[in-house]
A = this chain, B = another copy of it.
């Protein structure tokens, strides 16, 4: 199947190389990986960002499945751009898979970034906003989206030393996608 490879990987210094490695892993399991940076975009064009959006959307429409990298990005939660794509694919009825290389719960992770206190039985952050506390790795919408539109979120037993380049959890998702094809 054709698998859209979503993630903040595109923001890495070696974004092209990580995309190639992911596509190679897909190929090794008989699947085809579609990586956003495979789209040819003129980054000097005034509408470059719109071209990227349209290229990504067309690529998602061609794909049968998504593997989203939900590893926390620039804060306590997943990259919103990636999460948008996961939602889009769920809405399109495609197979939804995802992994996060940080197995901590969302509530524990928020407390690394700011003071979290307990008020009237709910956790609240420094602004007084509720911190989701269901023992899940991230916001319940993404966690149950993959559970109910694909397979449960894949996380490692321990956070790997290099969260952006360790592809073990990614490969576990590819294996699950391949198993679906052979069913």
Query: Which secondary structure characterizes the binding site on chain A?
Result: helix
A11 cross-chain contacts in B, Cβ below 8 A: 129-132
- Give the interface centre of A85, A136, A143 by most chain B CB atoms within 10 Å: A85
Q: Provide the A124-164 mask, 1 if CB < 8 A to any CB of B, else 0.
A: 11011111101010111111110110000000000000000
Copies in the complex: 2
- Check if A77 is an interface residue, CB within 8 A of chain B: yes
Interface residues, chain A, with chain B CB atoms under 8 Å away? 8, 10-13, 15, 48-50, 52-54, 56, 73-81, 83-92, 110, 113-114, 124-125, 127-132, 134, 136, 138-145, 147-148
A145 x B75 contact (CB < 8 A): no
In the complex, what distance in Å separates the CA atom of A134 from the CA atom of B128? 32
Residues of B within 8 A of A13 (CB): 124, 128-130
Q: A74-B110, A83-B80, A139-B84 are in contact. Are A144 and B50 (CB under 8 A)?
A: yes
